[in-house]
Amino acid sequence: MPLVNMKDMLDHAHANGYAVGAFDLVSLDFLDAILRGAESRRAPVILSLAESHFAYFNFQTLMPAVVAAARHSTVPVAIHLDHGASLDSAVQAINLGCNGIMVDSSSAPLEENIRLTRKIVTMARGCGIPVEGELGYVPGVEGEDAERHPGEMAYTTVDEARRYVAETGVDFLAVSIGTVHGRMRGKPELDFQRLAQINQALGIPLVIHGGTGLSDDQFRQLIDNGVAKINYYTALADAAGRVIAANASREARGYTALVAGIGDTIQAEVERCIDLWGSADRADAVLEKARPWRAVEHVIIYNVEGLDEAGTHAMMAEGRRVLSAIPGVLEVVTAEALKEDAAYRYSWLVRFCHPAVVDSYRDHPDHMAFADQHFRPVAGERISIDYQDVEDSSS
Ligand code: 13P
């Protein structure tokens, strides 16, 4: 089950002078193609889901497929929320299975950016999840013409970067040194000297947004100066778009005929990037170094006193509603024994994304209120145990 800790993955890339591709996906075609590309090149990969793309797919519906595909892959994978805009979206992404989060409050003034980022880092720490922050402003929108979303580019400065990282505790930093999201007009000029100084000052994996349109040489220099994660989307979308246009010009009819071949084209571009960024053939080394990402099953078996069956079911429903919203909770299952004479009649199965959630969940005010007011008073007789998932790494 090669879902791995993203911090371990990017620390390995940073220490060994290559970059992992973080490819934004907007459909199952993209998901399959990105993973096929990573598998064929034996490369670690980041499956990235951008909040700015949520208008194009249902995040809640797509995520179970992303998690299942990542678990079935044989190369190390992390699942990342790209450009998370709020604490709520970060919690939703974690609870749906993302194991890396980007906070994007880079358009806010520095103080505000620090305050918002710190809040999300504190929540994510309680879930064992690494966080990427952004400082300086990379304009544009991935997948669209950059010039239609001008915004003012703001370069990251070394002093602000040092302060931002120290005060927020982010694990990775996205820097603004001249790239733009989406299609660019003209050739981007990158400030490598600034990047080198930031890398030297921080010593953490750096991230480049707006990978589309950079030259092979620019990618090499980015990686030589501490970039360990490259975000990439528009070129994949454009390549898929060209295939659809060609299919249409051959008078293809219907959805499947129009999209035929886009997967192979996306895969080829992913493979080109992986080769260029040096992540090919790194899968085994990363699997050896990176901690596997394993969920925890918080199991309670119990008997109820003082509530009838309807009351017990209502208490369970309230628990499912309240507990599933706590950061780091992947799933809440309530059940009753098949046999009425079972030693324990009822059970909770609360799945946590990471062992860190055992403590943050126990101390979370919503959990304490539910447990103290609704559960403990009626469930004096109970057994509670936390189990960590055991999975065969060859499966
Ligand atoms: P491009 O769309 O320019 O490749 O940028 C992708 C990106 O930065 C996603 O965060």
pLDDT in tens, 123-174: 999 999 999 999 987 777 666 555 555 566 788 999 999 999 999 999 999 9
Residue 142 Cβ < 6 Å to ligand 1: yes
Q: Are strands 77-84 and 100-103 parallel, antiparallel or unpaired?
A: parallel
Secondary structure percentages of the chain, helix, strand, coil, to 5: 45, 20, 35
Q: State how far the Cα of 364 lies from the Cα of 85, in Å rounded to an integer.
A: 23
Q: Which residues sit opposite 158 in a β-bridge?
A: none
* Ligand 1 and 282: CB distance under 6 A: no
Pocket test for ligand 1, best of 176, 233, 238 (most atoms within 8 A of CB): 233
Our answer on whether the CB atom of 233 is closer than 6 Å to any ligand 1 atom is: yes
For the beta carbon of residue 14, count every other beta carbon within 10 angstroms.
Answer: 22
pLDDT at position 143, please?
65
Q: How far is the CA of 29 from the centre of ligand 1 (A)?
A: 18
Compute the distance between CA of residue 228 and CA of residue 205 in angstroms, rounded to an integer.
Answer: 5
Strand locations in the chain (E): 20-24, 45-50, 77-84, 100-103, 131-135, 172-175, 206-208, 227-232, 296-302, 329-336, 346-352, 382-388
| 17 within 8 A of 223, measured Cβ to Cβ | yes
Give the torsion through C-alpha atoms of 143, 146, 151, 153, to 10 deg: 100
All residue ranges of the chain with pLDDT < 70 are: 1, 141-152, 184-186, 392-395
Return the amino acid letter for 111: E
How many helices and strands, by DSSP H and E, does the chain display?
A: 15, 12
Nearest to 326 by CA among 294, 358, 364: 364
Please return the burial class of 121, using the count of CB atoms within 10 Å of its CB with bins 0-12, 13-18 and 19+: buried
**DSSP states along 268-306:** HHHHHHHHHHT-TT-HHHHHHHSPB---EEEEEEE---S
Strand partners, 172: 132
Residue among 24, 82, 104, 171 flagged as catalytic: 82
| CB 127, CB 90: distance < 8 Å | no
Q: What is the rounded CA–CA span in Å between residue 100 and residue 4?
A: 10
Task: Kindly state the tokens that stand for 296.
Answer: 């925890």
CA distance 386 to 394: 24
In degrees and rounded to multiples of 5, residue 299 shows phi and psi of -110, 130
Instruction: Report the C-alpha gap between 167 and 145 in whole angstroms.
Output: 34
Q: Is 44 in the pocket of ligand 1 (CB under 6 A)?
A: no
Q: Would you say the C-alpha torsion 105, 7, 182, 185 has a positive or negative sign?
A: positive
The pLDDT of residue 395 is 42
Give the closest residue to 135 by CA, choosing from 186, 172, 87.
Answer: 172
Contact, 106 vs 112, CB < 8 A? Answer: no
Structural tokens at position 35: 């993973």
Cα(374) to ligand 1 centroid in Å equals 47
Element (H, E) at 350: strand 346-352
Distance 347 CA to ligand 1 centre (A): 45
Which residue, chain included where needed, has tokens 């890398």?
Answer: 199
Q: Is 359 known to be catalytic?
A: no
